[in-house]
Structure 1
Amino acid sequence: MADIESRRVYVLENEEDVFGTVTIKDFEICRLFVLPFYHGKGYGRLLMEFSEQLIAGQFNKIQLDSSLPAKEIYLKRGYKEIASHHIITENGDYLCYDVMEKKILKLSPKEAI
């Protein structure tokens, strides 16, 4: 609720559903989700591109947490693994994720010409 009240949550919607969401906190992309019915249609990529552009306007890096299944997607987008975490849960299972980072190259007005 705090993220919604702080206007950090963005959604994709149509007439029937809110089917995608992403939360942006400073230079961090959090909780990017697309409903399963909408997978494979480019909506996740659309949310990523939106998030990256919004962050790149203010910061020189982007960070996110990645599950193992999503890691290859982020590597292809230029992210690098900067940390790996393994947390044991109450039932003895492990929650594993990587922290990924992408540097934003800022061109000076002279270099952009």
Structure 2
Amino acid sequence: MQFVIKEEGELNGWPTYAWAVKRLPKELAKAETVKEVVETAAEIRGDKTYAIYADTGESMTYHELNKDANRIANALLELGVQKGDRVGSLSTKFPRLSSMYLCVFKDWCN
């Protein structure tokens, strides 16, 4: 699976993005949870590019995404965050924001 983020325009002064899925490997089609999708993608796609961010040109691999999401999830667990708690995130870096969303889905929504 490869996601490409394309900058579309602005909404109230903030850039908006469109996600495009290029293909879905059969290993990922078997995944039943977000956690399984992210971890399987990290295993089979590893150092391939997950996303390129239009405003900075920064890129992130599937392995980096999984590692970053796990790091954030572990930090939240150490703070005592549990399923059902509300967690806010403020980030000027879109890559960190996508990792934040995935860590929440991986650890508390499955």
The structure where strand makes up a greater share of residues is 1
Could you say which TM-score interval applies, normalised by the shorter chain? under 0.3
- More helix as a share of residues: 2
Q: Which has the larger radius of gyration?
A: 1
Query: TM-score scaled by structure 1?
Result: 0.25
Greater RCO (Cα-Cα under 8 Å, separation 6 or more): 2
